[in-house]
Structure 1
Amino acid sequence: MMRIAINGMGRIGRLLFRRLIDMDGIELVAVNDIMDSDNLAYLLKYDSIYGTFTGTVVHAPGAIVANGKNVKALQQKDPTLLPWKDLRVDVVLECSGSFSSREGAEQHLKAGARKVLLSTTGSADIPLLVYGFNQHVLTNEETIISPGGCMTNCSTHILYILNAIGIKSVQCNILHSYTSRQELVDAPHKQFRRGRAAAEAIIPVEIDLQQSLERLLPALKGKIASVSTRVPVANGAMADFTLQLEQETTRQEINKLFATAAANEYKGIIEYTEDPLVSLDIKGNTHSCVIDGTLTSVVGNHVKLIAWFDNEYGFTTRMIDLLGKMA
């Protein structure tokens, strides 16, 4: 039985709570967030994206009780003061976004946790393991690991597969639902565009996808450019890849490449479809990316490829996969 704690109960932390609470081989022993625990219980029960929790979840003194299981609820700002040693925590899921450097994540180790799994890319000195691509390099000696982000998990497999043909250059535009790091009404922000009303505008934002992909795929260094365009929906994303390949290809060849991968070595990681999807259809999808074969287009060696993904559910699925690998 792996004993798990979650630090940071935002969108990813709460979805992980819902998914882990009744999972075989997992004991969710504690969560930590500065919000009041009665508010946390409410947000765990009622979710605007995934609906009402199907079991029971209530607030108790110092705890959240979900489906009859008591989970200690903490409100500690300093990770070094968390009772991970007393609770015999095997892995902390660091989902706050505030401790994604090695120095920050190590505070959980100092508090007594055995290992830390981030919910973001993390600093360059933390191993970046994208499940389905390079999780096999994980060793028992690693105490802090990163699963990348939802965009990295979508893009890595696609570019790796297409580089079998040879990629000269690629432009990635991730059309992504708005997130908590944007504002609902116009407000100050160090990235001016992120301060504009997220539900009222299409907003380009800066992302670190290029750096993550070059770490994972060094052969493509200097060949990748990326941007994320935030659109006024609350969930789901569409990744738009425009590539120049080393040789000419066809739409049929590209679609066959991904259909074959999805049915074989990438089963469960990549899905291939020719259904006329929209972003709502991706909600709750567990794949890292869903290749939309109806939107593939090719002119000579120029390829346009479209992939869908649920930026919350698909990503937490990969975090859970990595937990299994860590076990």
Structure 2
Amino acid sequence: MVKAIVNGFGCTGHLVTRVAFNYGKVSITIDDCFTDYNYKVYTFWCDSTHGKFNGTVQSEKGKLVISGKPTSIFQEQYPANIKWGAAGAEYVLESTGVLTTLEKTGPRMKCRAKRLIISVPSADSPMFMMGMNHKKYNSLKMVSNASCTTTCLAPLANVTVDGLMTTVHTVTAIQKTTDGLTGKLYSDG
């Protein structure tokens, strides 16, 4: 089982946790100091964009119980105060949107995590985007994700650069839509 920490339990943290629970082979620990347990339960269970979580969620004894599985939660604002080693995390997802540089995320790497993934662009770590440059990834310990704008526009720009284009056009006034006599070549339609 893969062990991961999700730091920041907003939209990205929710989605990663949902995928982890649906996949079933990932153990998640959550760090989120900004909201109380009831808010975490409700917003995870009922997402206004992605719908309801297909499982149960409740707060119990300082943990979130997701589909019957207790999930540890840290509520630390400063990464240096978190007992990262106790969580035994192999992977750390930084999804607060605040800690975006090596200096700010440094304490996470001291926990001996195999990888750190920053969910937003970082000024000093390699940036990857699926479908664009993901094949260049080569076992780096820390990576970041492209911005929302880049993720939206880069595939369109790539199509232009690669010269790939298909135009689907409606039938024009001088085209016949079925085979028939035209007085021209038989195959002219």
Which TM bucket (shorter chain)? 0.7 to 0.9
How far residue 60 of structure 1 moved from its aligned partner, in angstroms, is 1.1
The one-letter amino acid paired with 1:26 is V
Asked if 2 retains the 8 angstrom alpha-carbon contact of 1:37 and 1:73, the reply is no
2:89 is the counterpart of 1:97: no
Deviations 1:181-205 (A, max 9, x none): xxxxxxxxxxxxxxxxxxxxxxxxx
Change (3 A) 1:136 1:25: farther
One-letter amino acid of the structure 1 residue matched with residue 136 of structure 2: V
Question: Could you tell me the TM-score, scaled by structure 2's length?
Answer: 0.80
SS in 2 for 1:106: helix
1:36 aligns with 2:39: no
Given that 1:63 and 1:73 are in contact with CA atoms closer than 8 Å, whether structure 2 keeps it comes out as yes
Secondary structure in 2 aligned to 1:85?
helix
Where 1:38 maps in the other structure, the secondary structure is: helix
The residue number in structure 2 matching 1:148 is 146
What is the match of residue 72 of structure 2? 72
Q: Does 1:129 align with 2:128?
A: yes
Q: CA deviation at 1:56?
A: 0.4
| 1:4 paired to 2:1 | no
Matches within 5 A, 1:144-223: 144-165=142-163
Distance 1:24 1:39 in 2: 24
Amino acid at match of 2:40: L
Asked whether the equivalents of residues 2 and 90 of structure 1 are also in contact (C-alpha less than 8 Å), the reply is: yes
Unaligned stretches of 5+ in structure 2? 171-189
Deviations 1:39-91, CA, capped at 9 Å, x for gaps: 21121112222222221000011211111111101101111222221221011
Measure how far apart 1:24 and its partner are: 4.1
SS of structure 2 residue aligned to 1:31? strand
User: Contact (CA 8 Å) 1:8, 1:32: kept in 2 or not?
Assistant: yes
Contact 1:62 1:74 in 2 (8 A): no
TM-score by length of structure 1 reads 0.48
The answer as to whether partners of 2:31 and 2:74 remain within 8 angstroms in 1 is yes
- Residues 80, 110 of structure 1: 8 Å contact kept: no
- Secondary structure of 1:93's counterpart equals strand
Report the aligned-residue RMSD. 2.1
Aligned residues: 169
SS at match of 1:254: coil
Structure-2 separation of matches of 1:104 and 1:59: 30
Asked whether the equivalents of residues 159 and 165 of structure 2 are also in contact (C-alpha less than 8 Å), the reply is no
Determine the C-alpha separation between the residues in 2 that align with 1:102 and 1:26.
25
Determine which structure has greater relative contact order: mean sequence separation of CA pairs < 8 Å that are 6+ residues apart, divided by chain length. Answer: 2
On the 8 A contact 2:128/2:145 being kept in 1, the answer is: yes
Classify the secondary structure of the residue corresponding to 2:22: coil
Percent of paired sites with the same residue: 24
State how far apart, in whole Å, the 2-side matches of 1:13 and 1:146 are: 15
Distance 1:109 1:159 in 2: 35
Contact 1:93 1:117 in 2 (8 A): yes
Give the structure 1 partner of residue 108 of structure 2: 108
Q: Deviations over 1:216-270 (max 9, x none)?
A: xxxxxxxxxxxxxxxxxxxxxxxxxxxxxxxxxxxxx7235xxxxxxxxxxxxxx
The aligned amino acid for 1:131 is: M
Alpha-carbon offset, residue 37 of structure 1 = 2.0
Q: Report the Cα distance in structure 1 between the residues aligned to 2:106 and 2:141, rounded to whole angstroms.
A: 9
Q: Distance in 2 between the 1:160 and 1:24 partners?
A: 35
